[in-house]
Amino acid sequence: MLGFAQTALTYIIPFLFVLTLVVTVHELGHFLVAKWFGVAIDRFAIGFGKPIFQRVDRSGVEWRIGWIPLGGYVRFSGDDNAASVPDQDDLDHLRTAIVRHEGPQALGKYYHFKPLWQRACIAAAGPMANFLLAIFLFALLLGTVGEVTHPAKVTGVAPGGAAAAAGFLPGDVVTKTDGRTIRSFEDLERYVIVRANVPIQFEIERGGRTIDLTAKPALVRDVDPTGGTQEVGRLGISSQVTAADVVRTRYNPAEAVVVGARKTWEVLDTTVYYLGRLVTGQVSAEQLGGPIRIAQASGAVAQAGAEGAPDFGFMLLGAFVSLLGLAAVLSVSIGFMNLLPIPVLDGGHLLFYAYEAVARRPLGAKVQAAGYRVGLALLLGFMLFATWNDLQRLRVFHFLGGLLS
């Protein structure tokens, strides 16, 4: 019992907090924009399965929390098609039923009879809400806790490493990578870690001079904060700085929003770049992670934030602040993934709307149904593969094999 309580505090509660925050804001994006355009909504749900909470408000919207907290959805009135984009015949039947029961004036409140640009805005609102959440969370942390950084100063170069081969020396300060400004050693690490075996152009300062170097980070298997292993790019340099080198910066509200937007863009840029390498086979698909890895990361981040706190209250505060940072990063990833042109995701709806804009009519029902099934299969396959990778990282099958042998 004590072990379960410890696991819940360490992994389950942080995971549910982060995931629920990101999913709720995503669905609120759809909901609020739909409300703005006057769309009738039947249900706003967080989680799937049987409800553990449900309430119908005065506008007729059912607010529901399901017992499986792995997603959410907004159900529009008349939205009984699995792909949420009915073909012309479905629209005709739906229009006839609405006119018969509610009159022709009621058509304007149904999602499927809204102008195409409004439906596209509603579909895109979820991912956009995720990006705005990331900017808000980054800005909140930058304006309150601040940002702790230290210069990208090289104090050690590993013999035989990529940096040594490129000509790095102790005392070098990295100022740019591939033309991008490097503001801290953390920036440098984040840039290098996803570029194993990719030549990088470095601009460094050495003894008052500017020198250009080219290095190709080596692919190494490293232990991540969750206790598992991951393949990352490493230069073979270290940076040990004194307390005088560490800078804590707190931003005013305007600056915090600007820097928060920049950090959101950097996370998005890194996500797109890494996914591109994954699709082209430059990075092993074994690096993909699913809910288990997110739960592990949530637990590790919460523990790191709570370390060194003088009492339980400060432990909770430290964990909470750290989880907000993780939620910001995860929100960017969720926003981007939902924009992929897969029929069950928001990007798939936008793809259907693009076809409708060109063809002047919705895609046929059979094509939509086939696209929905393929998209669902792809999504479920991705989730299963990612979960398999998580279990492999935890050596679950090795452990079970030892029990059965």
Residue 27 near residue 46 (C-beta atoms within 8 A):
yes
- What are the start-end ranges of the H helices in 284-343? 291-306, 312-338
Active site residues: 27
Measure CA 265 to chain center. 12
CB neighbours of residue 108 within 10 Å: 12
Contact in structure between 177 and 189 (CB atoms under 8 Å): no
Structural contact between residues 31 and 129, judged by C-beta atoms closer than 8 angstroms: no
Q: How many C-beta neighbours within 10 Å does residue 356 have?
A: 18
* Helix locations, 9-150, DSSP H: 13-36, 88-102, 116-144
Kindly report the number of other CB atoms within 10 A of residue 10's CB atom.
Answer: 19
Closest alpha carbon to 26 in 132, 111, 118: 132
Two tokens, residue 207: 């003894």
Structure token digits, residue 228: 């598992």
Q: Scanning the structure block, which residue is given the tokens 């669902």?
A: 376
What is the Cα–Cα distance from 331 to 135, expressed in whole angstroms? Answer: 10
Phi, psi of 54 (to 5 degrees): -155, 140
Alpha carbons 285 and 97: distance in angstroms, whole number: 48
